[in-house]
């Protein structure tokens, strides 16, 4: 983790403005991402945290322009990668970014590797495709990437297939595939959920070291508030397809402004500091096909007011790049 | 002294008891054997050696009425509420089935009891007519808990009961389990890889590594007076939801395979305290009581105590 105060002067790498991705279904329109705005600065690690259905994965797939089709469509907004709006690119132009300047590590290393190709071939693919390197030079780059993710004896491992790797090692291969082109932005979508505790700790340490070394910007998608606390400089809390609070991790964990953020933080058991009873958010996350009017959290909010049921709260700045959408903060 | 519900005794002297009205947690990574123990307790598998005792009797030798009584007394809630409920059965039948089978209950009485059970777990009794797909993950886990409660068991095996659930729903289920424990004096055998949940829920903790228990203690002792290097590594590996407490130093290497475990102490290839000592490589460490009710199997533990 880098010092929060120095982050703000760094140039913005990614600027997402009012992104909207909707699913068009027979039963109606499902607003998976409904007006998401956030920025990622150079070398910064940003968390997207939320529960299932909050839109965090769909936001990332939208940034990569990989939303499932048919069904989903990016219906609005801008995604600025330096001075280029990715949503205006043709599919061919987009390929220059995807897998090259921005890469994504998916949740399940089982399904993101091709079982019939060797590890070497799979890590080689982006090298050939994007860096246009061949032969010894390309091979050296692949080995370098495998070494960087600390796979032992990479020269031998190159020729092996995914089934010959353990879960933790497979996830390192996936990370090597993402990092081999030295991308400016890495999107990590719950990459450690299937890993054991000690293996997860190794993987988190690895990504943090690589991030520091190459000054890569990282978006961490997770429901684990522990990973956000340990890995991120900033956090964006998502609920029902929107970011309800955004800010520096240290600040938000100490003084959450949004009742949902506060409830989330109070609902997890903290090791070494046990609470007699967990705070309980009653009810269910909303059905995205019928989001309540006003603030979508109001039916579960302990401090709900009349206005919450009528109007979505505006963005209230809370210092620096930080903001919250809540009528309590507006008062 | 509390009465124990179930006592598990392995051949190498390791034994633990789930005390009446308390939670015993088994923690460890994949392949450590925690689920195998749970399956043994549930009579889904037979231990090749060692025994599990319930009221002084080996559960795998129970027959007839005693066996039926044991099966009634011990119930389970599994990890995945999507595959543990029959999608074609109405909720009232899922919860009512054990009552019909074991107690021959039917008609109005059954209906009342099912309604009561649904209320116990915080569901509206009218939802008894619904099918599992009409419920969210958290609600399904409540249904599974209601089914487990139906026969007024004394022990419930909780196999990763919240790992498939969202953060906000986890707290609901964990709180519900704690409330039910107090209300009905239940004992829990909790299987979990999540140390924060273990600390929150349990009274006693057993840490397992590649098929063996490496440390056993009261919850408070386990987390404050940790003895075994593996337990220490596990605790250090947890990313805590507090940016002011950085992660500790974790261990390298991978979890060994239980099919071909390392010689001597199974943890030695990854152990920071190993330092090439022959004893760790060659001898299986003895299971010893280092402090009252605090057991561990490690050659290096005494020296570690002196250093502190």
Domain of residue A275, CATH code:
3.40.50.300
Q: Which residues of A touch B195 (CB under 8 A)?
A: 197, 271
- For residue A95, being part of any structural domain is answered with no
- Does residue A301 form part of some domain? yes
What are the pLDDT digits (tens) for A55-80? Answer: 999 999 999 999 988 889 999 999 99
SS3 A81: strand
pLDDT band (50, 70, 90) for residue A167: confident
Number of domains in chain A: 1
Instruction: Choose the closest CB to A250 out of B197, B200, B243.
Output: B243
Shortest CB distance from B243 goes to which of A223, A253, A273? A253
pLDDT value for B3? 78
Size of interface A-B (CB pairs under 8 A): 129
Cβ distance A197 to B29 less than 8 Å, yes or no, reads: yes
> CATH: 3.30.750.210, 3.10.450.50, 3.40.50.300, 1.20.1420.30. Which one for B4-202?
3.40.50.300
On chain A, the residues whose CB falls within 8 A of the CB of B30 are 196
At residue B303, the pLDDT reads: 54
Other CB atoms within 10 Å distance of the CB of residue B165: 23
Domain that holds residue A288: 4-90+220-330
Does residue A193 fall inside a structural domain?
no
Which A residues, 23 through 82, put their C-beta within 8 Å of a C-beta on chain B? 51-52
Contacts of A197 in chain B (CB under 8 A): 29, 193, 195, 234, 237-238
Three-state SS at A171: helix
In a domain, A122, yes or no: no
Tens digits of residue pLDDT in A215-235: 999 999 999 999 999 999 999
pLDDT score at B308: 43
H helices within A23-83, ranges in order?
A: 56-63
Q: What is the pLDDT of residues B93-105, one digit of tens each?
A: 999 999 999 999 9
Which of B173, B237, B243, B246 would best serve as a mutation to test chain A binding (most A beta carbons within 10 A)? B243
Interface confidence, given as ipTM, is 0.88
Evaluate whether residue A190 is within a structural domain. no
**Domain-embedded: residue A26:** yes
Q: Does A269 touch chain B (CB under 8 A)?
A: yes
B246 contacts A199? CB cut-off 8 A = no
pLDDT of residue A330: 79
Q: What SS3 state is found at A242?
A: strand
Chain A neighbors of B256, CB-CB under 8 A: none
The shortest C-alpha distance from B278 to chain A (Å) reads: 25
Domain ranges of chain B: 4-202, 231-307
Q: DSSP labels for chain B? A: -PPEEEEEE-TTS-EEEEETT-EEEEE--TTSSHHHHHHHHTTSS--SSSEEEETTEEGGG--HHHHHHHHHHEEEE-S-TTTSS-TTS-HHHHHHHHHHHHH---HHHHHHHHHHHHHHTT--GGGGGS-GGGS-HHHHHHHHHHHHHTT--SEEEEESTTTTS-HHHHHHHHHHHHHHHHHHT-EEEEEES-HHHHHHH-SEEEEEETTEEEEEEEHHHHHHS--SHHHHHHHHHS--S-TTS-------S-PPPSSSPPSSSTTGGG-TT-TT-HHHHHSPPP-EEEETTEEE--TTHHHHHHH-
CB contact under 8 A, A230 and B243: yes
Render pLDDT for B200-230 as a digit per residue (tens, 0 to 9): 999 999 999 998 999 999 999 999 999 999 9
- Model confidence at A7: pLDDT above 70: no
Instruction: Read off the pLDDT of residues B132-172 as tens digits, 9 standing for 90 and up.
Output: 999 989 999 999 999 999 999 999 999 999 988 888 899 99
**Within a domain: A97:** no
Q: Does A253 lie at the interface with B, CB-CB under 8 angstroms?
A: yes
pLDDT in the model for residue B176:
96
């Amino acid at each position: 983790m880098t010092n929060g105060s120095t982050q703000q002067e760094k140039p913005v790498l990614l600027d997402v403005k009012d992104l909207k991705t909707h699913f068009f279904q027979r039963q109606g329109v499902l607003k998976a991402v409904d007006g998401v705005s956030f920025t990622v600065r150079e070398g910064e690690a940003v968390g997207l945290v939320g529960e299932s259905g909050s839109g965090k994965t769909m936001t990332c797939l939208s940034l990569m322009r990989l939303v499932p089709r048919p069904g989903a469509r990016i219906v609005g907004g801008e995604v600025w990668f330096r001075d280029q709006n990715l949503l205006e690119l043709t599919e061919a132009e987009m390929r220059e970014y995807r897998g090259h300047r921005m890469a994504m590590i998916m949740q399940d290393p089982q399904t993101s590797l091709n079982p019939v190709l060797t590890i070497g071939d799979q890590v080689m693919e982006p090298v050939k495709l994007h860096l246009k390197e061949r032969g010894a030079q390309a091979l050296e780059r692949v080995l370098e990437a495998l070494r960087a993710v600390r796979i032992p004896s990479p020269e031998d491992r190159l020729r092996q297939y995914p089934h010959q790797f353990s879960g933790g090692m497979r996830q390192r291969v996936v990370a090597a595939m993402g990092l081999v082109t030295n991308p400016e932005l890495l999107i990590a979508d719950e990459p450690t959920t299937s890993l054991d505790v000690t293996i997860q700790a190794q993987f988190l340490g690895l990504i943090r070291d690589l991030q520091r070394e190459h000054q890569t910007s990282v978006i961490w998608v997770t429901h684990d508030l522990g990973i956000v606390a340990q890995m991120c400089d900033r956090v964006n809390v998502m609920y029902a397809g929107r970011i309800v609070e955004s800010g520096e991790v240290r600040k938000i964990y100490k003084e959450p402004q949004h009742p949902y953020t506060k409830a989330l933080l109070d609902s997890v058991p903290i090791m070494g500091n046990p609470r007699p009873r967990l705070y309980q958010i009653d009810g269910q996350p909303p059905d995205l096909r019928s989001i309540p009017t006003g603030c979508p959290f109001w039916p579960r909010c302990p401090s709900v007011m009349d206005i919450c049921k009528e109007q979505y709260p505006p963005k209230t700045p809370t210092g620096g790049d930080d903001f919250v959408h809540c009528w309590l903060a507006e008062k | 002294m509390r009465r124990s519900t179930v006592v598990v005794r392995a051949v190498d002297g390791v034994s633990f008891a789930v005390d009446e009205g308390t939670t015993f947690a088994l923690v460890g990574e994949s392949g450590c054997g925690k689920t195998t123990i749970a399956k043994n307790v549930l009579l889904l598998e037979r231990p090749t050696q060692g025994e599990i005792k319930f009221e002084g009797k080996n559960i795998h030798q129970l027959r007839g009425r005693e066996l039926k009584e044991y099966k009634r007394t011990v119930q389970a809630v599994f990890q995945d509420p999507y595959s543990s409920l029959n999608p074609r059965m109405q909720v009232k039948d899922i919860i009512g089935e054990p009552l019909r089978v074991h107690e021959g209950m039917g008609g109005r009485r059954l209906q009342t009891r099912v309604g009561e059970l649904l209320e116990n777990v915080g569901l509206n009794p009218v939802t008894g007519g619904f099918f599992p797909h009409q419920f969210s993950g958290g609600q399904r886990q409540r249904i599974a808990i209601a089914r487990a409660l139906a026969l007024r068991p004394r022990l419930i095996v909780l196999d990763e009961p919240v790992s498939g659930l969202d953060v906000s729903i986890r707290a609901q289920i964990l709180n519900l389990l704690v409330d039910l424990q107090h209300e009905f004096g239940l004992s829990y055998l909790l299987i979990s890889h999540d140390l924060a949940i273990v600390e929150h829920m349990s009274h006693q903790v057993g840490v397992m590594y590649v098929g063996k228990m490496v440390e056993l203690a009261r919850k408070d002792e386990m987390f404050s007076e940790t003895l075994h290097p593996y337990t220490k590594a596990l605790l250090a590996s947890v990313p805590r939801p507090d940016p002011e407490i950085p992660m500790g130093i974790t261990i390298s290497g991978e979890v060994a395979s239980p099919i071909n475990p390392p010689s001597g102490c199974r943890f030695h290839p990854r152990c920071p305290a190993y330092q090439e000592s022959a004893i760790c490589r060659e001898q299986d460490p003895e299971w010893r009581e280092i402090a009252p009710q605090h057991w561990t199997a490690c050659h290096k533990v005494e020296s570690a105590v002196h250093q502190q």
